[in-house]
Amino acid sequence: MFDIVGTSGDAFNMTRDYAVAMQREGVSIELKVYTNEAKAVEDFRAGLCDAVIATGFRTRPFNGVAASVDTLGSTIIVRNGVIDMTASYDVVRKLVQTFSADTPQVTRLMTDASGKYEVGGILPVGAAYLVGSDRRNNTVEKLAGKRMAALDYDPAQAVMIKRIRAVPVPSDITNISQRLSSGATDFIAAPALAYKPLGLDKGVGERGGVGRFPLMIMSYQVILNRSKFPEGFGARSRTYWLGQFDRVLQLIRKAENDIPAATWVELSPENTYRYTLMLREARIDIAQMGLYDKRGLKILKRIRCHVNPADPECQSKSEEVWQQP
């Protein structure tokens, strides 16, 4: 499992509790923690591990439906020009609940086409915010020409960065902090849980800030090699992680509260609406390019409209009926 701070991290502590709980299910799990996420996924693919826990960006190749939570704006709810984070996390919760149902239909969705891999859990790690070295760059127009870190294993990020006429800088989660503090990039996107562990405050300094506009809510996902676990274990595992939702939500909220109030950069209601529409248009285009899973986006659209039926998008068939590419 991946935890950038190793055995002292929250992700490792939660996974250790998971291993104890799964013993009661008759499954013995030996943990191996990686601070290099790419290596963790590589070892899993090579059969050196029976399961892997990593970010949704890394697990997308195993299951695009589950990784749809990690798509631009797909879980974000806006009401009266303000981001409603409680409702946004409710969208994520309902998605995790949907994917935790022990039914044949859900099992098919959570299993890849080869039948080898199954999603064993989804857990939010928080909203990804723009973290920059100059708080004056507080509109999309001002981002034109600026350098922004793009995870090189998630091509959708570079697509989005180019759409706003910024410059993508290929990066990895292990070096984005150094790129920001060294001036190699002007912006990165990261959740509050990464702010202290990655030392992002050094890159922000006195002039920078964190924009209070979530690009998405990121996730950690458990991927199982089905042949290594008992029949039906995937559903029991997903149910366990659903039960940890409120625990991790407390960690996320604490991390956001720990960022100094003066560091946050607020958006106007007009720009909040404008950027939400911008993310929606980008998400649809990126799905049409084949980089996002359309089935997952369709499920998320329905959940958003259940949570916030007054949103104008709920009067359209966008993300429900797709144009043929």
Q: Note the pLDDT tens digit of each residue in 122-138.
A: 999 999 999 999 999 98
Domain total of the chain: 1
| Confidence (pLDDT) at 74 | 97
Q: Is residue 237 part of a domain?
A: yes
Q: Where are the beta strands (DSSP E) in 156-270?
A: 167-171, 187-191, 209-211, 216-225, 264-265
| Confidence (pLDDT) at 183 | 92
Lowest mean pLDDT among 66-70, 120-124, 173-177, 191-195: 173-177
Q: Is residue 324 part of a domain?
A: no
Q: Is residue 71 part of a domain?
A: yes
| Confidence (pLDDT) at 323 | 77
Q: Is residue 188 part of a domain?
A: no
| Amino acid present at 287 | A
Q: pLDDT tens digits, residue range 205-224?
A: 999 999 999 999 999 999 99
Average pLDDT over residues 75-89: 96
Domain range for 51: 6-126+218-270+304-315
Q: Is residue 73 part of a domain?
A: yes
Report strand pairing: 117-132 vs 147-151.
unpaired
Q: Is residue 284 part of a domain?
A: no
Write the DSSP symbol of residue 174. Answer: T
Specify the CATH number for the domain of residue 243.
Answer: 3.40.190
Q: Is residue 288 part of a domain?
A: no
Q: Predicted confidence band at 325 (pLDDT cuts at 50, 70, 90)?
A: low
Residue 173 has pLDDT above 90, yes or no: no
Q: Is residue 266 part of a domain?
A: yes
In the chain, the percentage of residues whose pLDDT exceeds 90 is 94
Residue showing tokens 């529409």: 277
pTM metric for this prediction:
0.95
Q: Predicted confidence band at 322 (pLDDT cuts at 50, 70, 90)?
A: confident
Report strand pairing: 209-211 vs 117-132.
antiparallel
Q: Predicted confidence band at 324 (pLDDT cuts at 50, 70, 90)?
A: confident
Q: CA 52 to CA 11: how far, in whole Å?
A: 12
Q: Predicted confidence band at 250 (pLDDT cuts at 50, 70, 90)?
A: very high
Average pLDDT over residues 86-98: 98
pLDDT, mean over the chain: 95
Burial of 98 (0-12, 13-18, 19+ CB in 10 A): middle
